[in-house]
Amino acid sequence: MSAAQATDSKRTLSYAAAAALALEQVMSADERVVALGEDVGRGGVFGQYAGLLARFGEHRIIDTPISESTIVGAAVGMALTGLRPVVEMRVVDFALCAIDEIVNQAAKNRFMFGGQGRVPAVIRMPIGTWTGSAAQHSQSLEAWFAHVPGLVVVAPSTAADNHALLKASIACGDPVAYLEHKELWGVGGEVDTGATGAGELGRARCTRAGKDLTIVSWSRTALESLAAAEVLASEGIEAEVIDLRTLWPWDRDQVLASAARTGRVLVAHEAVQAAGFGGEIAATVAEETGARVARLGAPRIPVGYSQALESEAIVRSVQIADRARRLLAT
């Protein structure tokens, strides 16, 4: 690729538009890729399918009834017959109505039938708080899916990653729990629409180098961690920030190397801290290195509807910076 071509391939896109473009590019290149779910024909609730119905028609952009178990069940069948379905669950909270199809059918099929069938389906289940939407629309359930053998788990935090990782997930031969954040759809960023290899599954990204401690995070909290690192830097504390990008497989090598270098690791996430995926990372760091570890997640409470209650359940940069200072003091 020439320098001019490289420049032409870089565009500023929103998180939602980056995903829509990725899906358009993949569908143009591979007729096996279809999308199905509620509201995909009108562009999706967040605009993540904008323009795709006009481009590919209703046989590939498929509006479905309001039945999550039916949607995922149909996708499993599609995948087993050679298609590569992209499944829209609207929000992760609604995917609980399809948990049998995701956990017992999609995830286990390859293992239970000796590899005769595979389920290359991408199940889009947006996680995280959705402002003013209360407890049934604001959950972060990534640890559930990371716990299930057979599922790949992806959690992009930027428009560039949402473009690259969605492509990589569709190319993956196994079912992917694809966890976009409900409040990142409008956040923009530079996207290299022609990049290859940027979406490697299982590869974290160091978004800020530092020597005093390591902050490991994903999804929106990875951005909050960067903001916390800026505050800490003004105090003379250099925090290294690692955005995992994929939770399973997760980039053990990069995290452990950073932990060995800084000697302290803080894992921060928006999900409830109790039994959160941060515990897996913290335990691995403790077992494999001599680093001191700490976790920061949401309290074990439902996300409230009122602004005051809702704010109590969200991990922000202020809490991350405070927990980092306390970790450094030990």
Q: Which residues are catalytically annotated?
A: 137
**In what helix (H) or strand (E) does residue 189 lie, and over which residues does it extend?**
strand 188-192
Residue 168 Cα distances to 163, 200, 211, 254, angstroms: 9, 6, 32, 20
Tokens of 125: 């289940």
DSSP letter string, 150-174: T-EEE---SHHHHHHHHHHHHHSSS
Helices then strands, each counted (H, E), the chain: 14, 14
* Interacting residues of 246 by C-beta distance below 8 A, sequence separation 6+: 152, 153, 154, 155, 165, 201, 202, 203, 204
**3 state DSSP class of 109:** helix
Q: Is the dihedral of CA 48, 147, 128, 193 positive or negative?
A: negative
**In this structure, what are the phi and psi dihedrals at residue 229, rounded to the nearest 5 degrees?**
-65, -35
Q: Phi-psi bin for 201: left (phi > 0), alpha (psi -120 to 50), beta?
A: beta
Q: How many CB atoms lie within 10 A of CB 195?
A: 16
Residue pair 126/93 in contact by the 8 Å Cβ criterion: no
Q: How many CB atoms lie within 10 A of CB 326?
A: 12
Residue pair 255/246 in contact by the 8 Å Cβ criterion: no
